[in-house]
Amino acid sequence: MRIAITGTHGTGKTTLVDDWVAARPHYESVPEPYWLLAQQGVPFADGPTLADLEEQLGQSCSLIMASAGQDDVIFDRCPLDFIAYLDVVSAQEGFEWTPSGKLLGRIEKALSTLDVLVFLPVSRPDEIAVAIEFPKLRARVDARLKTMLRDDDLGLLEDGPRLLEVTGTREQRLLSLGAATGEA
């Protein structure tokens, strides 16, 4: 099973990945592109920038495609995360970010290698006890992801993974994902 976890920052993506792999050690976890790029020495701005987000989008596609023939892998983030951030950040800067047809094809190809795409929306009340950076950005990206995923407004999910929206406690999320993948 090839799984990717998607959602805005501070929704519990990494926690779900860690919990999944702790319960199923045969799975390989792939950290989110930001951390892998940072470990490689790629410098990032203090806040989200279009260039940084585009770099992470490319890395996300590469990570997913590099393991296309591998089963039992779970990704922390997927290309749709970065499209949502790029849409929101560009709108804040006063223009519309538009991916090229070539990039959309690459994203669609990467998504088609996944079996399940797990969306973690912002929960109300928020389970995150610490202050979240960029709370307005977080809310806008969450709203954009909801439209992208629920309505497939970019047409990228037709031949892609099964979408699973997961909410609740850590334990409930883990159980929901296990039941949906047949690995309960």
107-158 pLDDT, tens per residue? 999 999 999 999 999 987 667 777 788 889 999 999 999 999 999 888 888 8
Lowest mean pLDDT among 3-17, 29-43, 114-128: 114-128
- Predicted pLDDT of residue 109: 93
Residue ranges of domains in the chain, CATH in brackets: 2-181 (3.40.50.300)
pLDDT in tens, 80-102: 999 999 999 999 999 999 988 89
The predicted pLDDT at position 72 comes to 96
CA 118 vs. chain centroid, Å, equals: 8
CB atoms closer than 10 angstroms to residue 119: 24
Predicted pLDDT of residue 16: 96
pLDDT at residue 18 in the model: 97
